[in-house]
Amino acid sequence: MTSLPLPPVPEPFRLPFHYGALHQIGVDWLVDPGPVRRLLAKHHPDLTAAAFDDGRALVSLNYQLYFAQYAFGGGVTQEIEFNVIAFPTAEADRLPRLSYAQYAQGWDQTKLLGIARLHVVCDNPFAIRAGRELYAEPKYPGWFEVGLPSLNGPEGATWTVRCKAAEVGTDDALERGQAPLLDLTARLDGLTSVAANSAPVTGYGTDREGRLLAGPMNVHQPYGWYDLAAPEHSGRTRLAVHAPDGDLGRDLQALLPDGTPAAGAWTFQSPPVAAHNRPYYLPTGPRV
């Protein structure tokens, strides 16, 4: 087998890219494989959709809020990905046979079962450029209104993500629009997660020359996976598509018909590194 060169890393980027903090929610759906295979062939012809329980394909939406520290300071980015779980067709004979629950808990140690990105919406123009140029991500601008579990907020384990349209202006600044693209809600209150050793997560992209890229992402602690397969959990997640005529909306509706129940959800939240505690009063006045 002929070895391949590494993809270039154009200026001003540096790899690996280090996250200072990461907060993430992913929701998985087991769906009819036919539409998934057709859409995947259009975006990533050298990938094959993985087959899980009863031959169904697996698609996911995952939202990320992350902080990165650079030489010039810091930046906060939000994005949401619409993915198909897939593998390189040429590597099919290396894959283990797994159920969805086994895959979700990290049993695939080949890491060939990865996320084939169909759409990535992001609120940081620099990150949009990096995703496109480094990893061949189909990444474009949007912005977010969110509610998520936080030590600095009320108790609860509900995640709400509203993604809206945006554009990148001539000065490379994000220009927010008002048109909503999608809403995602996951109510995980009262559920117990299972530690999932699923990292590194392999992300697949296909560049303009048709070359398939694989970029692994290491998360240095386990994810928490929530099994939502039981019928009583069918109402815990909700996906609303607000722009059905756009590319993202059409693809979401093609793969996720209204009412499709989620099979599972997974989360990661970086632990705090410091805490500024409650103040207290000191006595004042003349000393006795």
Confidence (pLDDT) at 162 = 98
Checking if the pLDDT of 3 tops 90, the result is no
Reported confidence tier of residue 288, pLDDT bands at 50, 70, 90 = low
Separation between Cα atoms, residue 241 and residue 172, nearest integer Å = 28
Question: What digits encode the pLDDT tens for the residues 161-206?
Answer: 999 999 999 889 999 999 999 999 999 999 999 999 999 999 999 9
Topology of the domain comprising 21-269: Acetoacetate decarboxylase-like (2.40.400)
Buried b (16+ CB within 10 A) or exposed e, 211-233: ebeebebebeebbbbbbbeeeeb
Separation between Cα atoms, residue 193 and residue 201, nearest integer Å = 19
Confidence (pLDDT) at 287 = 74
CA angle 156/161/162 to nearest 5° reads 140
DSSP codes, the chain? ----PPPP--TT--SSPPPSEEEEEEEEEEE-HHHHHHHHHHH-TTEEE---GGG-EEEEEEEEEEEEEETTEEEEEEEEEEEEEEEEGGGGGGPPP--HHHHHTT--TT--SEEEEEEEEES-HHHHHHHHHHH---EEEEEEEEE---TTS-S--EEEEEEEEEEE-TTS-EEEEEEEEEEEEEE-TT---EEE--PSEEEEEE-TTS-EEEEEE--SS-EEEEE--SGGGTTSEEEEES-TTSHHHHHHHHHS-TTPPP-EEEEEEPPPS---PPP-----S---
Other beta carbons less than 10 A from residue 184's beta carbon: 21
Confidence (pLDDT) at 254 = 97
Q: Are 93 and 82 in contact (CB under 8 A)?
A: no
Q: Are 141 and 100 in contact (CB under 8 A)?
A: no
Reported confidence tier of residue 1, pLDDT bands at 50, 70, 90 = low
Q: What are the tokens at 271? A: 């632990």
Question: What digits encode the pLDDT tens for the residues 75-102?
Answer: 999 999 999 999 999 999 999 999 999 9
Separation between Cα atoms, residue 193 and residue 39, nearest integer Å = 32
Confidence (pLDDT) at 247 = 96
Average pLDDT, the chain: 96
Q: What are the tokens at 152? A: 């600095």
Separation between Cα atoms, residue 85 and residue 48, nearest integer Å = 9
Question: What digits encode the pLDDT tens for the residues 123-146?
Answer: 999 999 999 999 999 999 999 999
Checking if the pLDDT of 213 tops 70, the result is yes
Percent pLDDT > 70 in the chain is: 99
Confidence (pLDDT) at 30 = 98
193: Cα separation from own chain's centroid? 18
Average pLDDT over residues 228-244: 96
